[in-house]
Structure 1
Amino acid sequence: MQLMDLIRYKYKTVSVVGMAKNAGKTVTLNRLLEEAAEKNIILGLTSTGRDGEKQDLVTKTEKPTIYVMENTIIATTEDCLLRSDAKLEILEATDYVTAMGRVIICKVKARGMIEIAGPDTNSEIREVAMKMRFYGAEIVLIDGAINRKTTASPSITEATILATGAVLSRDIDKVIEGTQHQVHLFNLPTIEDETMKPLIASLMEDKSYSIIDKSGNVEVLDIPTAINNGTTIGRALTEESAYVILSGSLVKKTLEDILTVTELYKNVTFIVRDATKIFIGAKDWNFFIRRGFKIKVVDKINTLVATLNPYAPQGYQFDPKEFYNRMKRNLPLPVIDVMLEEEEVHV
């Protein structure tokens, strides 16, 4: 089975997000582009940051470039167009402006290498994806740049491919643990109480930080963010509290501060929009869960597959078969080593 078999006829927008830079995300994108060409699928492609450059801007090492086929629809900036050698037809110059110029939507007329740098905001990414679909893309791939896992959010894309690899650590156990944790977060359970879902969704849209009690009454907290306000949230909890609505990010310090002021957190469920809002590492997460925190999401992230890169640009590598087999045993989803051309997806 190919990667594209997991996508075609099921999803119109798919993000490819990396656990870290050099985790194999660009190789995954190129594989998707190759498979789409074989199946005569017209793809759209954009990015939340810059990708496709010949040298990694962080490590200063050579990195894979993005190679696009004829008829691919791309959305990239004016500066990136000047560094791309594919022949392109400009379809639209959008109003979205980045530090690298306006975002331009193009159609590939002759295959070649490109650099991709798309819109800066999530709303602009959604709109650009819609435009690429209008111009003929059957499926739009969104390249989630480093530390921009927000593209995995169901509010932006329908499904996600997670790229992970040896670059995370020289310790294979730590790479597996970190990847397991990210997949676990992406699979966090949603709210089960159907009567509360509309109210919680409304509070999320209002970007408020609120507490809902067992009777459905709402107390809106006078705080702009949960960061550095865990003490305020904890002191606002009562025996009647049922849900804490966090419309922004959830970080380690917030939960630590709540722990210091109350035990009542054990009686409530903390709600975030989706797992891209959670910034807590595996060990800290497990500590908080053991202490009795319950955390759910409004929208669960649909993770299709994890792609593996056993090589790190620092010069070390894992045994590819061992890495693949251990990931396969430890992840509840298909895995594929994108560095092995003949590897198949195994469910």
Structure 2
Amino acid sequence: MAEFAGSSHFNWLEEESIKAITIVGICKNAGKTTLLNHLISLRKKGTWGVFSTGIDGEETDFLFRIPKPPVILDKDFIFCCDTSTLDELGCQIVVLSKLPFSVDRPLWMAKTLIPLQTEITGPSTVKEQIQTLKLIQNYGAEKVLIDGSIDRKSIAQSEYIDAVIMVIGANFGTLDEITDEVNRLKILNSIPQSTLVTPNSPEYKFLLDSEEICLYEERNWKPSGLVSLIGNIKPLRQMISKNTEAIYIPGAITDMVYQDIKNILSQSGAQLIVRHPNCLKIRLKRLEFFYTQHHPTALIPFRIRNWALNSMGLGFSDIEAQEFRAYLRAQFPDLNFVDVMELGYE
């Protein structure tokens, strides 16, 4: 197979520990499918799998009605599709199974017999996305690529993801807004995994499954009975004692409660653990201060391994795209951006 420009950015794909990779973007039409096709082309051997947390490879974007690239699969790729795609591909694939949880919208697991272009899809809930990942792996896929999103309803924030590729799309907003968002994501990506609970411990699973704020006191995790910070700052403050070593907050920490939780942490000296760094839904300047002062940790770190950008926004000219690309690369030389629009055969 021919070498692709930008392939050196993704040498880490060959690491044995990297089994599930998700591609996420900061906006719609960020260029995820183009990047997905590039990653698919990098397979050297073995069986890989691919699915989407939405729909990918459709002819036109549902919202903007613009043409979209198909997903290009080589032989021996396991993928998830709907019934219409299954019928369309016919003898080009072998059907492996119907997803047992897809009732209202039947979904199928299939394997390519020849190289082909197709549409891929997948379930909409995190639980079912995890089941789909495990099913593909059970069918023998050594690597699974997932076209996803960064919201909490996506597998991207689950413990089953080994690496994330973040795509910065020009459609997100102004250059200043995009710069702030990249800086915010960089901070979130630097938040370390908590050392207070190990991934294989019962306490780790307890916290992952908990929807309540929990307090760590005298080597035990205690549920507080509080699901959200909103309206519960006073009772939470009353529960905290000199023995409180850490506070686990599974939900979002927003600008609305920022000042209150900041004061609680400052007064108690307790360590903050969030479920995932993206639970910190606070503006950049506040996030910078919060990160520096309180050193939050996470049960599940972000694991962004690569940063990509799509310089071609809706209505962008070639000159504007070049300026966008040059500006971001100058602002963030450490991120070594690969532009999805520059990916091509050398």
Please give the TM-score of this superposition, normalised by the length of structure 1. Answer: 0.82
Residue in 2 that maps onto 1:302: 303
Residue in 1 that maps onto 2:4: none
Counterpart-to-counterpart distance in 1, 2:137 and 2:199: 35
1:83, distance to aligned residue in structure 2 (A): 6.6
Say if 1:40 and 1:210 are closer, same or farther in 2 by CA, change over 3 A.
Answer: closer
Residue in 2 that maps onto 1:35: 42
Counterpart-to-counterpart distance in 2, 1:283 and 1:310: 26
Residue in 2 that maps onto 1:283: 285
1:329, distance to aligned residue in structure 2 (A): 1.6
Residue in 1 that maps onto 2:3: none
Instruction: Please list, as runs of the form range in 1=range in 2, the aligned pairs for 1:204-219 lying within 5 A after superposition.
Output: 204-207=207-210, 208-213=212-217, 215-216=218-219, 218-219=221-222
2:175 counterpart of 1:185: no
2:66 counterpart of 1:64: no
User: Residue 102 of structure 2: SS of its match in structure 1?
Assistant: strand
Counterpart-to-counterpart distance in 2, 1:85 and 1:266: 63
Report the AA paired with residue 70 of structure 1.
Answer: K
2:55 counterpart of 1:50: yes
Residue in 2 that maps onto 1:238: 241
Say if 1:77 and 1:283 are closer, same or farther in 2 by CA, change over 3 A.
Answer: farther
1:105, distance to aligned residue in structure 2 (A): 0.3
2:157 counterpart of 1:156: no
Counterpart-to-counterpart distance in 1, 2:220 and 2:140: 47
User: Residue 313 of structure 2: SS of its match in structure 1?
Assistant: coil
Unpaired runs of at least 5, structure 2:
1-6
1:268, distance to aligned residue in structure 2 (A): 1.8
1:112, distance to aligned residue in structure 2 (A): 3.0
Counterpart-to-counterpart distance in 1, 2:46 and 2:225: 50
2:260 counterpart of 1:253: no
2:97 counterpart of 1:77: no
Structure richer in helix, relative to its length: 2
Per-residue deviation, residues 315-344 of structure 1 (Å, max 9, x unmatched): 36442651452254253xx43112113599
Per-residue deviation, residues 202-222 of structure 1 (Å, max 9, x unmatched): 540450312224x33554212
Residue in 1 that maps onto 2:226: 223
Instruction: Please list, as runs of the form range in 1=range in 2, the aligned pairs for 1:261-280 lying within 5 A after superposition.
Output: 264-265=266-267, 267-280=269-282
User: Residue 181 of structure 1: SS of its match in structure 2?
Assistant: helix
1:283, distance to aligned residue in structure 2 (A): 3.4
Contact kept? 2:329, 2:337, Cα under 8 Å: no
Counterpart-to-counterpart distance in 1, 2:20 and 2:265: 42
Counterpart-to-counterpart distance in 2, 1:19 and 1:250: 19
Say if 1:315 and 1:307 are closer, same or farther in 2 by CA, change over 3 A.
Answer: same
Identify the range of structure 1 (313-322 vs 88-97) with the bigger mean alpha-carbon deviation.
313-322
Question: RMSD in angstroms over aligned alpha carbons?
Answer: 3.2
Which of 4, 8, 13 is the matching residue for 1:7? 13
Identify the range of structure 1 (84-93 vs 175-184) with the bigger mean alpha-carbon deviation.
84-93
Counterpart-to-counterpart distance in 2, 1:21 and 1:128: 23
1:282, distance to aligned residue in structure 2 (A): 2.2
User: Residue 124 of structure 1: SS of its match in structure 2?
Assistant: helix
Residue in 1 that maps onto 2:24: 17
Say if 1:146 and 1:197 are closer, same or farther in 2 by CA, change over 3 A.
Answer: closer
Counterpart-to-counterpart distance in 2, 1:95 and 1:117: 15
2:343 counterpart of 1:336: no
Say if 1:249 and 1:76 are closer, same or farther in 2 by CA, change over 3 A.
Answer: farther
User: Residue 110 of structure 1: SS of its match in structure 2?
Assistant: coil
Unpaired runs of at least 5, structure 1:
none
Please give the TM-score of this superposition, normalised by the length of structure 2. Answer: 0.83
